[in-house]
A and B are shown apart, each in its own frame.
Chain A
Amino acid sequence: MKSNAAHERSNMLDFSAEEAMQTLTESVLRAYRDLPAPVIVGIYTGGAWVAERLRRTLGVAAPISTLDIGFYRDDLALSGFKGVGSSSLNDSIDGRSVLLVDDVLHSGRTIRAALGALFDYGRPAHVRLACLLVREGRELPIQADYFGREVRLDPGQRLKLRGPEPLALEIL
């Protein structure tokens, strides 16, 4: 039985999920050092795990909110309705600062859908995006404000985050 880190390395990633988490945490901490605590919204499921870690590090007392974007996807005709988990926005986001969190930023379509969903809950003052990993292959003009690591993979490969404790990355 290999350790998570060794397993990841054998799949061509030269870092572990926890190392990426560490980098992400540091840059988010720096950014919010002098700012009021944001409403932390994690995209179900992987993004919610990363969001929970950021919440603890930032010392935000309010529980994280989760967003399932199943009803907002733009690929219904391509891949079908896969069902959804529940969203739960615990705080009003009107006029607040929102930190939107996902595990992997790739095409940008998930974030586009998440922004659509978010604005059906209210009108935030601004939204910043934190992603554990950013992967080459953007199809929309969406970038992360904070991220852990950048990765480049073959088009057929998929990155999967396992969690919540510990976080581990797998290439499928």
Chain B
Amino acid sequence: MRSLQLHSDGRLKHFLSTEGLPRAVLEEILNTADAFMETSGRAIKSVPLLRGRTIAMLFFEGSTRTRSTFELAAKRLSADVLTLDVGLSSTSKGETLLDTLRNLEAMHCDMFVVRHADSGAAQFFASHAREGVAVLNAGDGRHAHPTQAMLDVYTIRRHKGPDFGRLRVVIVGDVLHSRVARSQIHALNILHVGELRVVAPATLLPEAVQALGVTVFDDLDEALVDADVVIGLRLQKERMRGAFLPSEGEYFRRYGLTTERLALAKPDCIVMHPGPMNRGVEIASDLADGPRSVILEQVGNGIAVRMAVMALCLGRPRASL
């Protein structure tokens, strides 16, 4: 994965997964995002960096927040944006992914932002894209959602500083089905996080999850002790139909994040959630809307982080392509 994502000089070519990327690349994304936070605070929020470039949004799977922040990021870089509701168009008529890619390349798109229900879809695009075309993964199956993970670590860095080594981070919920969690775990470990704890019922943990570099807890209260950051994951309700969980009420009682429970964490512990939230299932409303919650800030940070990834992937000298 690493070789597909990086140019021979080590700079970012595609952004498909946080897994296996060098620490310096992740830090460059975070530092570049800092500069875009500054420009996003101005009355005129766009910069001319990608003027004349075309970015196509290929959302084979529904999404509101991710798609709109990617679009806004591209527009704030002055790129031309093409949004294709692919779920409703060619693919439903039987066009293959490769045909979709070739057609968009014929329109001279410079970047594809791809979201797809199948793991590996973005990687497929990247491995078949012609030279000079960049692919960003906006979520593929259960595999990865790297820009979400980067906006999460960016949010942590803004609150806790650049030294991840002194932080204890807790991820609670459906890790098994979560591409966000997988990407977060890789990113946090690459940034040398002090301790990474994962809490979930055994039915919602991937096999051999410890091999990813986490400590597994079954009891949420134990896991929350002295935490600096707590990340709740969305409980995908469609999973309730399987044999994964007894009931929503039971899940909330054992794994729901509440203000009372957060008393076990450090006093300045922040609470995060990638959204969309199921209030009263994985997180209590008063906590989600309370002073420790940085959930809405994550959304704004997402624009700066996505601008950074787009700038780094497309800001390549044409001569070297």
Contact = CB atoms under 8 A, between A and B. Distances in A.
Interface string B41-59: 0111011110000000000
Interface in B192-238: none
Nearest to B39: A71
Interface of B: 28, 31-32, 34-35, 38-39, 42-44, 46-49, 311-312, 314-320
Given A71-B48, A72-B47, A120-B44, A81 B35 contact: no
B304 to A, nearest CB: 12
Contacts of A121: 42-44
B34 A81 contact: no
A81 B42 contact: no
Interface string A117-135: 1001110000000000000
Identify the interface centre among A71, A80, A86: most chain B CB within 10 Å of its CB: A71
A80 B42 CA distance: 25
A80 B31 CA distance: 17
A84 B35 contact: yes
Contacts of B317: 76-80
A76 B38 contact: no
A120 B316 contact: no
Interface string A132-163: 00000000000000000000000000000000
Contacts of B32: 83-84
A86 B48 contact: no
B48 A72 contact: yes
B35 A80 contact: no
B contact face: mostly helix, strand, loop, or mixed: helix
A77 B318 contact: yes
A68 to B, nearest CB: 7
Nearest to A120: B44
A58 B47 CA distance: 32
B48 A88 contact: no
A85 interface: yes
A70 interface: yes
B320 A87 contact: no
Given A80-B315, A86-B38, 11 more contacts: A70-B35, A71-B39, A76-B49, A77-B317, A77-B318, A78-B317, A79-B317, A80-B316, A81-B311, A81-B314, A85-B35
A164 interface: no
Contact of A81 (B39, B46, B312, B320): B312
Given A70-B35, A71-B39, A121-B42, A81 B48 contact: no
28 contacts: A70-B35, A71-B35, A71-B39, A71-B48, A71-B311, A72-B48, A76-B49, A76-B315, A77-B318, A78-B318, A79-B317, A80-B315, A80-B316, A81-B49, A81-B311, A81-B316, A83-B28, A83-B312, A84-B32, A86-B34, A86-B35, A87-B35, A87-B39, A88-B38, A116-B48, A120-B42, A121-B42, A122-B43
A2 B31 CA distance: 37
A72 B34 CA distance: 16
Nearest to B51: A76
A122 B28 CA distance: 29
Nearest to A88: B38
A45 to B, nearest CB: 14
5 closest Cβ pairs, A-B complex:
A81-B315, A71-B47, A80-B317, A120-B44, A77-B318
A122 B42 CA distance: 9
A158 to B, nearest CB: 18
B283 to A, nearest CB: 33
A78 B317 CA distance: 5
Interface centre among A84, A85, A87, A120 (most CB of B within 10 A): A84
Contacts of B42: 120-121
Contacts of A120: 39, 42, 44, 46-47
